[in-house]
Amino acid sequence: MSRFACLAIALAAATFSRGQDLKKDIPYANPAVERQVLDVHAPKDAKNLPVVFWIHGGGWQTGDKSSVQLKPKAFNEKGFVFVSTNYRLLPKVDMETIIRDVAKAVRWTRENIASHGGDPSRIFIMGHSAGAQLAAIVCTDDRYLKAEGVPLSCVKGCVPVDGDTFDVPAIIEVAETRWRTHGLPMATFGHRVKFGNDPAKHKDFSAVIHVAKDKGIPPFLIIHVADHPDTTAQALRLANTLKAAGIPATLYGGRETSHNRINADLGKPGDPGTTALFAFIEKSLGK
């Protein structure tokens, strides 16, 4: 790369940093414990902008709110406030506690985002991988947000990205059949255990179980890797369940990509998934 190209990139980065207000490690619970913090990325002088609430992946065991790649810049430039949250992790806490952490972070966002230039009545909940399951469950099982005093009506859209656990019993059956058929050992900490090692819990943590008419469930854009059989099947399962209940659901299957890349590319100019994402958001906002 030439010296002039490097200078141009540096100038662009400096310009963006001057145009963005970043607040890090804001506690969202009182009292907050480890990992109950979030970051807010807002355009300078933001006022009454729609909000993207992002949930990181990592198998519910790892990951961090800083893993947002191009998303804050892309959304800020489009006129959005971007929130990225942490949550406590397995095995220190159970799955229900993780979901409740996410709901608490949404509550903080709704109650406080106006002071960061966001509109608390226009929130989009999104997440990748494990974060996709968490996004889908809080947008379908309204008990979690209701417990925090948050109505689903403030959520204008849900975007789960390449999740494989919208129907937990189904992915357990698929995975364990595959291992058994090929004579492989079962995972010691697979989905069966992560989701509570109880069939009733497996169903209760599945977004598809909670889809119903007249709950105020928002429209969904379900992004998945088109040639991955598990995430594609789960995306179709969720989309079909939503559509049967009269809830708008759009599928986007990314081609020639991977589980990590489809997430990392969101926000990149010319990326087809990004185009689909912003088209969905504009439609959901009535633009």
pLDDT value at position 8?
Answer: 40
Q: Is residue 15 part of a domain?
A: no
Residue 113 domain boundaries:
21-284
d(CA 183, CA 166): 27
| pLDDT value at residue 70 | 97
Residue 13: the pLDDT is: 41
Q: What is the CATH number of the domain that holds 109?
A: 3.40.50.1820
Q: Mind giving me the DSSP string for 24-88? A: EEEE-SSS--TT-EEEEEEETT--SEEEEEEE--STTTS--TT--TTHHHHHHHTT-EEEEE---
Distance CA 182, CA 228 (A): 19
Domain assignment present for residue 97? The answer is yes
pLDDT the model gives residue 5: 40
Q: What pLDDT is stored for residue 20 in this prediction?
A: 86
Whole-angstrom distance, CA of residue 77 vs CA of residue 94: 37
Taking the C-alpha atoms of residue 236 and residue 218, their distance in angstroms, rounded to an integer, is: 17
DSSP state of 215: S
The pLDDT value given to residue 149:
98
CA angle in degrees (0–180, nearest 5) for 263-118-59: 30
The pLDDT, as a whole number, for residue 19 is 76
Is 189 part of any domain? Answer: yes
Domain count across the chain: 1
The answer to whether position 200 is within a domain reads yes
- By DSSP bridging, strand 81-85 and strand 37-43 are antiparallel
Tell me, yes or no, whether 5 lies in a domain.
Answer: no
Q: What is the pLDDT of residue 159?
A: 99
Sequential DSSP letters for 226-279: TT-HHHHHHHHHHHHHHHHTT--EEEEEESS--HHHHHHTTT-TT-HHHHHHHH
The CA distances from residue 10 to 7, 42, 111, in Å, are 5, 21, 36
| 10-residue averages of pLDDT along the chain (287 residues) | 40 49 97 97 97 98 98 98 98 98 98 98 98 98 98 98 98 97 95 97 98 97 98 98 98 98 98 98 94
57 lies in a domain?
Answer: yes
Task: Decide if 12 is inside a domain.
Answer: no
14 in a domain, yes or no?
no
